Amino acid sequence: MLKQCLVSGVFVLLIFTANAQNSGYDKIFDYKDGVAKVKLGDYFGLIDSNGNELLPPAYDVIQGFNDFRAKISKDKLWGIVDNKGNILVPVIYENITSFKNDVAKITKNGLLGFVDINGKIVTQPAYTKMFNVTNGGTKVAKGELWGMLNKQGKLVVPVKYSSIGTFQNGVAKVVENDKVGLIDISGEILVTSDYDKIIRLGHGGAKMELDSKWGLLNGDYQVVLPPQYEEIGTFQNEKAKVTKNGKLGIINADGSILTPVKYDEIVKINHGYKVAIDGKWGLISKSGVQVLSEAQYDKISIFEGERSKVTKDGLIGFIDVNGQVMIPVKYEKIVKLKNGGSKVELNGLWGILDPQGNEVIAPKYEKIKPFKDGQAKVYADGKWGTITMGGEIIVGTD
């Protein structure tokens, strides 16, 4: 059997060799897609599996077949032939790229266009630059101006923009006459090129700048807030700080005002916002709407759990996350105790507060030693006594 196959192979080779000799070809290359490249002198042609000439040896280059098509070249110009010898794309182009999504880029007279796999011109060579975009469309340029073709090679964005940005979620920035706008992937103008800057936002929509003033576009890119703020900060939970005439406020993502623009400082904290006017601090709720504490304190410290130390006129107190006073602002020092109460100093004398901030021992001791096993030594008028952490006097100093 093996001997029979070898004889058959030799026979076929002899036939091809005979055909090559009879036809006058210098070389016959391997077959692919039912055709073989032949060489005569410096030129190449094609024959079928029966040795019939499909394409005369008149071409400088015939590249390998891919999907039954091959690029051919003559006199530095390129075209495309199929495996039947049909010229699909005439040999008139300076360059033809590989096919991608059934189209190839062609170059004629230095200009670019598209041809499909059947040789039909999809886009006439008219552009100086072409770049694919993620949706399958193509950005095209004539000189310094840009437009865009859709997947079918039709011009959907006129060549009039000095820049077309990267498409993100189907939307890209465009620049015309130094003004910025937005278009979608189909070429529809979402925002006319009227603005100095447009910054798209993570929650949808965008903020836009015109004449150093900022406004907002919603998720449909409609104007919900005309440019009026010197700054619109980063949105967090669909809220952002805004600045106008040097004052700060808070707006919602739809452009509505949550916090009036009247504060000198606004600091985001876990429980809401600290706000300052004329050096005095207050609290605003997480929603940005409710004033929990008017601006009255010289300082509001970092919250520890549900409470924060506040300072006013050199004295100390505590407020809770709702701005309610837990310990009145009248002490010089406050030291937290293990039971949740506090040791407090006023006019150089020490007392005890319970966990609710009530005075259980008014400040009257010159010294209160550290508590041990729930008790502490106290000193007043030259005498020592003992108290409990709850304020009970065990040994008086009277």
Question: Does residue 50 lie in a domain region?
Answer: no
Task: Please identify which residue in the block is written with the tokens 């290359």.
Answer: 29
Domain at 339, CATH number? 2.40.10
If DSSP codes are grouped into helix, strand and coil, which group holds residue 270? coil
pLDDT at 102: 87
Question: Does residue 311 lie in a domain region?
Answer: no
User: Do the beta carbons of residue 47 and residue 61 sit within 8 Å?
Assistant: no
Question: Does residue 397 lie in a domain region?
Answer: yes
User: Do the beta carbons of residue 343 and residue 369 sit within 8 Å?
Assistant: no
Structural domain boundaries enclosing 157: 94-193
Q: pLDDT grade, residue 390 (50/70/90)? A: confident
Question: Does residue 20 lie in a domain region?
Answer: no
Measured CA to CA in angstroms, residue 278 lies from 19, 180, 225, 250, 275 at distances of 101, 39, 28, 18, 10
Question: Does residue 282 lie in a domain region?
Answer: no
Q: How many CA atoms are closer than 13 Å to the CA of 258, on its beta-carbon side?
A: 22
How many domains does the structure of the chain reveal?
Answer: 2
| Among 146, 178, 193, residue at a domain's last position | 193
Mean pLDDT for the chain overall: 90
- DSSP letters spanning 98-147: --BTTEEEEEETTEEEEEETTS-EEEEEEESEEEE-TTS-EEEEETTEEE
pTM over 0.85: no
Question: Does residue 396 lie in a domain region?
Answer: yes
Question: Does residue 215 lie in a domain region?
Answer: no
Tell me: the pLDDT tens digits for 309-318? 999 999 999 9
Tell me: the pLDDT tens digits for 167-219? 988 899 999 999 999 999 888 999 999 999 999 998 889 999 999 999 999 99
Strand partners, 209: 197, 214
| Among 164, 193, 222, residue at a domain's last position | 193
pLDDT at 23: 57
User: Do the beta carbons of residue 81 and residue 75 sit within 8 Å?
Assistant: no
Rounded Cα distance between 111 and 104, Å, is 14
Strand partners, 180: 175, 195
Q: What are phi and psi of 2, to 5 degrees?
A: -60, -40
| Among 134, 158, 193, residue at a domain's last position | 193
Question: Does residue 151 lie in a domain region?
Answer: yes
